[in-house]
Each structure stands twice: as C-alpha cells, then as structure tokens.
Structure 1
Amino acid sequence: MAARRLGCPVAVLVTAALLVAGCGRGGSSEEPGAVESGAPGAGPFFGECGSITDEEVAEAVGVPNFAGVVRNSVGCEWQTSPDQDRNAPHFSFSWYRGSPIGRERAGSEMIGRPAADIEIGGHPGFESSLSSRLCELGVEFGDDFVHWSISYGKTDPTADPCVAARHLAELTVARGQ
C-alpha cells in the first residue's frame, strides 16, 4: 500500500514536469540561446557581447585590431595588448541581471568619476568619465542593467570615449529582445 501511495505523487510530478517542458516558446525565428526569465522586473535578453560584433566595437572606438577578446557569461572585453596591460586601450561590455545600477553609479562617483543622468531608448542610465581617456555608461532595465566601459589607458584616444560608449549602448538597447 505504501508503494502505491508513493507512486501516485511521483507520477503527478513527472506529468507536471513534462507539461512545463512542453510549454516553452517554439518557432524557427527564435534566437539561439535566448532565455526568458519571466521574473518580475527582468530586462530583455541582449545576446553575447550585447549583440555587438568585434567589428562594430573596433569602428566605434577607432582601434582596428584587438590582441584578444574575452567572452564569458556576463560580458566581453576587447584588449589591444596581448598581456592585458591596463595602460593600453581596452573596452568592455557587461550585463548585470538582478543587480542595482545605483551601486555601479555610486562606485564610479566614489573613485572620482562624477555621473550624469542619461536616457537611451527610453531607459534611464548614467554616464561617467575621467578626462578624455575613459568613459563608463550604464542603462537600466528594471532589475537589470548593461554597462559599457571605454578606456584608452595611457594612450592617446582615437575617438571620444563617451561618444563610442553611447553609440555601442544605443546598438545594444536597440537589439535587446
């Protein structure tokens, strides 16, 4: 009798799991790797590197060749120095899920980079810079935000870092799903 009582809830759980698995989005137009969180306040899906190509980054920052591109689950970094020299130009995109943008903004301000309010694609954000060599820009999506950092290190900039960051952020926001 105990085996029979245990079997019924297990069968119900297995059936429920199969039903839930069958309720995902379908169709051939779906982007590979797209994730729908369904969580309240969750922002759109941005794709690898904010859906920005290496060529688009190179064009925006005015640097034609990268010595390395690091890609991981939270973002990408384009490096001009093979040994990751922070004095050389480097550029990054990060996507923060369930993290407050205010903490990133406060961090920029704490280290001497005053932040200004911005809006991109109807979404609030901030931009902070340090001289003409560094600019950081964040755009908020509910409980998520994306962040672009453009740093020329100690080399002469080949583009205005805030103009480059804004252009890349506009592309990212426009391509969010």
Structure 2
Amino acid sequence: MPKKLVGALLAAVPLLLAGCGGGGSAEGASGDAPASTAGGAGPFFGECGSVTDDEVAKAFGVPGFGTAVRNSVGCEWQSSAQDGQGSPHVSFSWYRGSPIGRERVGSELIGRPATDIEIGGRPGFVASFSSRLCELGVQFGDDFVHWSIAYADAAPTADPCRAAQRLAELTVERAVK
C-alpha cells in the first residue's frame, strides 16, 4: 500500500506544478502575477529607516518612548507607559522584493482606504483609520518601506498621517543609493 500512495503522490506533483506556471493565462496578463515590477532593488535605508529615536518621538508626540525592536529591516517604538497592542506605537519596515500593492490591498481589506501619494518623487500610498492609525508605504523599484503610526487606546497627540509622512520623508531623504 505505501508504494501506491507514493506513486499517487508522484503522479500528482506535475499537475500541481502545472497549476503554478505563468503560461500566458488571462490571470497572469491581468496583473495578478506576484513579484517583480522589473524595477530592480531599491537603495539601502539603514537601521530603522535612518531615523533616530528622537525624531520618531518628536513626530509621534508621545513621551516615554522605548525601542521595542531594532534591526536592519524593521523597528518598533512603543510607549513605555503601557504594554501590549493597546499602547501607542510606531513601526518601520523595509520590504525587499515584495510588491507594495499587496500591502495596500491588505490595508483596504481591513477597512483602511488607501490613497496614492508621492514622497521625494517616489510613488506610494497612505491609509488611515480614524484619527488613531495611519500607515504609509513608499515604492523603490522592487522594494518598499512602510511606516505605521498607531495611537491605539491613547488620545492622539499628533495627526498620525502627518507623523508617518514626516518619518517617510526623512527615510527617503537619507536613502543610500
């Protein structure tokens, strides 16, 4: 019996792989295909988008910030006054070889309508939900950077989209080509 099972699995593999091919189908032609926009790799953004903790705190306007996560592809600053998802936070992410459209659609699917923007001559989007949450993405070839500002349960001390835009402007200005 195991030989029959192995044989059946081996017979199914070509069928599964055929379903993954690009083959010029209507779906591939409609732009639903993942991947590269043939724009190439974007610049280097540095740790946390080359933005300092002080610049994040100034744009966000919440005192008592502590850096929760810091690495070469993402950072998150969270209020030290509260812990968990209910606390105010700011995050930066750098996506290499990932389509910005997927992030935009994800925002729209969860009720954050997206609008086209341009920062430093680069296309992107901004999506917000009330006066408490804003996310902003900027495209660089096949890469994009993403800033997210969330006041969560706290009263906003600044416009989250203005804060996200200011931080994105700093990141774009400081990108190393």
Judge same fold: TM > 0.5, yes or no: yes
* Moved beyond 6 Å, runs of 4+: none
Task: Verify the 8 A CA contact 1:118 1:124 in the aligned structure 2.
Answer: yes
Distance in 2 (CA, whole Å) between partners of 1:101 and 1:82 is 33
Distance in 2 (CA, whole Å) between partners of 1:40 and 1:109 is 24
The question of 1:92 aligning with 2:91 is answered: yes
* TM-score, with length taken from structure 1: 0.75
Offset, 1:176: 0.1
SS at 1:126 equivalent: strand
The question of 1:47 aligning with 2:46 is answered: yes
Task: Verify the 8 A CA contact 2:87 2:152 in the aligned structure 1.
Answer: yes
Report how many residues are paired: 139
- Identify if the C-alpha distance between structure 1 residues 110 and 40 changes in structure 2 by more than 3 Å, giving closer, same or farther: closer
Distance in 1 (CA, whole Å) between partners of 2:163 and 2:107 is 18
* TM-score, with length taken from structure 2: 0.75
- Equivalent residue for 1:78? 77
Task: Verify the 8 A CA contact 2:64 2:81 in the aligned structure 1.
Answer: no
Distance in 1 (CA, whole Å) between partners of 2:88 and 2:140 is 28
Distance in 1 (CA, whole Å) between partners of 2:64 and 2:46 is 23
- Identify if the C-alpha distance between structure 1 residues 162 and 40 changes in structure 2 by more than 3 Å, giving closer, same or farther: closer
Unpaired runs of at least 5, structure 2: 1-37
SS at 1:163 equivalent: helix
- Equivalent residue for 2:114? 115
SS at 2:57 equivalent: helix
Offset, 1:141: 0.3
Offset, 1:83: 6.5
Unpaired runs of at least 5, structure 1: 1-38
SS at 1:64 equivalent: coil
> What's the RMSD between the two structures over aligned residues?
1.5
Offset, 1:154: 1.0
